[in-house]
Chain A
Amino acid sequence: SQQGEEDPQALSIQEGENATMNCSYKTSINNLQWYRQNSGRGLVHLILIRSNEREKHSGRLRVTLDTSKKSSSLLITASRAADTASYFCATGGGSQGNLIFGKGTKLSVKP
């Protein structure tokens, strides 16, 4: 089933700008995770937000979760060229079963 669906599909910004990516999901969740994938590489876990949390920060990352709208957003502040990657939201995982990924947002940060 299609669980996480990100938008936009692609985002191009200048270095220093903020980047916001959104994710919607369909079923109830215990948590939602964001992963990053550099081109041709593996997935790197960025941040997890639990269903009873509304906002979480980690460095330049800010994640929000609205369970009533079944949506989450990932904000990267003061973006850098090194942030260029694809970003995926995912639900489930661990002892809860498999992670279901969205299609991802391809972020391009131009120097």
Chain B
Amino acid sequence: EPEVTQTPSHQVTQMGQEVILRCVPISNHLYFYWYRQILGQKVEFLVSFYNNEISEKSEIFDDQFSVERPDGSNFTLKIRSTKLEDSAMYFCASYGAYSTNEKLFFGSGTQLSVL
């Protein structure tokens, strides 16, 4: 089965630093997402991206966050100035829009630790 790939699997950074989390969605998918999960809590929606623009974002996705699809394959999440509370597992997901269901394919996640 096709996979969504995320790198790195773990990222440790100092508070105030910028981080970029990378994702390679499934190649012919059209919708892309970032979710996060703080340890022990529910998976929370951050942002969705379609047709080279943000289609929806949550309250969590403030000005410190940005997404980009710099080329035909990568989808990145940038956190400009990390805070301690940004520590979480970040999941990328993609969706094909041509499939018969709304199944999202998730990557294995990037564990971000902000010190």
From A94, which residue of chain B is reached at the shortest CB distance? B102
Categorize the interface residue count of chain A.
Answer: 20 to 34
Of B13-21, B37-45, B63-71, the one contacting chain A is B37-45
Asked whether A42 and B106 contact (CB < 8 A) given A95-B31, A103-B42, the answer is: yes
Q: Mark A86-108, 1 if CB is under 8 A from B, else 0.
A: 00100011111111111110000
Question: Which of B42, B44, B109 has a CB less than 8 Å from the CB of A41?
Answer: B109
In the complex, per-residue mask of B94-113: 1 if CB is within 8 Å of any chain A CB, else 0: 01010101111111110100
A48 at the interface (CB under 8 A from B): yes
Once the chains bind, are A97 and B104 in contact (CB under 8 Å)?
Answer: no
Distance of A67 Cα from B56 Cα, bound (Å) = 26
Binary B-proximity of A62-105 (CB < 8 A = 1, otherwise 0) = 00000000000000000000000000100011111111111110
Q: Is the CB of B109 within 8 A of A42?
A: yes
How far in angstroms is the closest Cβ of chain B from A85? Answer: 14
Number of B interface residues at 8 Å Cβ cutoff, please give it: 29
* Contacting residues, chain A, for B105 (C-beta < 8 A): 45
A34 shortest CB reach to chain B, Å: 11
Interface residues of B (CB under 8 A from A): 4, 31, 33, 35, 41-45, 48, 55-56, 58, 89, 91, 93, 95, 97, 99, 101-109, 111
Which A positions have Cβ atoms within 8 angstroms of B? Answer: 30-31, 33, 35, 37, 40-45, 48, 88, 92-104
Known: A95-B95, A99-B35. 4 other contacts (CB 8 A): A31-B101, A40-B89, A44-B106, A99-B93
What are 26 A-B residue pairs whose CB atoms fall within 8 Å in the complex? Answer: A30-B102, A35-B106, A40-B109, A40-B111, A41-B109, A42-B4, A42-B106, A42-B109, A43-B93, A48-B102, A93-B95, A93-B104, A94-B99, A94-B101, A94-B104, A95-B31, A95-B102, A96-B102, A99-B33, A99-B45, A99-B93, A99-B104, A101-B35, A101-B43, A103-B41, A103-B42
